[in-house]
Amino acid sequence: MFGNEGESRDVVMAVIREVAGIVSEMSGIQLGERQYSMIESRLKSRIIKLELHTFSRYIKYLKRNLEAESQTLLSLITTHHTYFFREFLHFEYLLNKGLKRLIDRTRARGEKVIRIWSAAASRGQEAYSLAMFFDFHLKAIAPDLTFEIWGTDVDPESIATAKNGVYRVEDLRQSPAMYLQDQWVRGKGDISEFTKAKESLKKKCHFKVENLLKCEGFLNGKMFDLIFCRNVFIYFNPEQIKKITNLMLNHLDPQGLLFLGASETLTGIDVKVESKGTSVYQHRVDVPKDVLSGIKSATAYALGRAMKPAEAISRPLEVLCVDDSGVIISLLKKILTKESGFIVKATARNGLRLWKSSGPTLSIS
């Protein structure tokens, strides 16, 4: 029974602020006044379970048992609202724009494994969603490749759930049916409402307790093609976001992709990224000034020689771009726009591919 009737509101709020500070120190998560009602509600359930009856008794208990209770407190306070295939627009982006790129990049490195990090994995739904997605599509279009997923979260209880790989059947009902096929085993009798990931799926997913602000050890020696860090930056301040993002970029392949939550953005954060879609980012490539100057000069020269400025828009030049650097080709396509008087009709990575232009090696815009 909860019986804090004798406690003043000031005492309750003082405890809530102190608990918020402890959680913040442990995880880096910033808990302000907007979260105080959530903290109060969750603390009440813990106080009732411990039969302590008041907030003031709980804070004394917490201080006496800080090492043991702090992990329980962290699990209690950190948000666990997630579900399978959350923000499906990101999976659509992967399917339509990202997947082929990841496959090509992995093969270009001479490797066979696409590496993925679910950086705020919670109870594992995101990691298993990604596992189902890649298992289905790689078998169909790139059976020579496989994948591995690392899921990390600051909450040990959540990671334990992820490692177990058991969820309610209801939790999976909104997942696309094609991804569910032959991946889960439903319980029988008293556990018929639960389903467990098959070992073939579980062995692709590795889970570890990690704090995003202190995960250098975990990241040592690892590089990822894809990083999902969704719906967690809302709990960090701008300096923390900058630190975490830069750390991730240091371990993201030069052509890899970083996904944030659909309501999150890196706009205004001083990090070297460029947007590729809704909360989808990649490394920003800074072109040396002499290279950029040369490209612009060549563009201006071609326009001046070919036609008057007024004619450039109505009668743009058709251009073939040839370079062994995909980055340079991408830059040329951004610079040689219709508004500048050009249309990039085709690209090639080398002379041999250009010579074989009747085949699939020449990219026609």
Please indicate whether residue 355 or residue 85 has the higher confidence score (pLDDT): 85
253 has a pLDDT exceeding 50: yes
Place of tokens 């959540």: 158
| Residue extent(s) of CATH 1.10.155.10 domains in the chain | 9-77
The pLDDT score that the predictor gives to residue 359 is 46
- Give the fold, CATH level 3, of 89-283: Rossmann fold (3.40.50)
Q: How confident is the model at residue 58 (pLDDT cuts 50, 70, 90)?
A: very high
What count of other Cβ atoms lies within 10 Å of the Cβ of residue 352? 9
Q: What percent of the chain has pLDDT over 90?
A: 57
Residues 297-346: pLDDT tens digits? 655 555 555 455 555 556 778 888 887 666 667 767 777 877 777 888 88
- Which segments of 165-204 are extended strands (E)? 166-168, 184-186, 194-197
> To the nearest whole number, what is the mean pLDDT of the chain?
86
pTM of the model: 0.73
- Tokens read off for 54: 């008041």
Q: How confident is the model at residue 98 (pLDDT cuts 50, 70, 90)?
A: very high
Strand order in the sheet with 363-364: 317-322, 342-348, 363-364
| Residue extent(s) of CATH 3.40.50.150 domains in the chain | 89-283
- Tokens read off for 108: 């270009």
Q: What is the mean pLDDT of residues 188-207?
A: 96
The pLDDT score that the predictor gives to residue 225 is 98
CA 265 to chain centre: 12
Give kind and range of the element (H or E) at residue 328. Answer: helix 326-335
Residues 114-140: pLDDT tens digits? 999 999 999 999 999 999 999 999 999
Lowest mean pLDDT among 64-78, 108-122, 165-179, 295-309: 295-309
The pLDDT score that the predictor gives to residue 362 is 44
What count of other Cβ atoms lies within 10 Å of the Cβ of residue 42? 16
CATH of span 9-77: 1.10.155.10
CA dihedral 297, 303, 306, 312 (to 10 degrees): 170
Please indicate whether residue 164 or residue 360 has the higher confidence score (pLDDT): 164
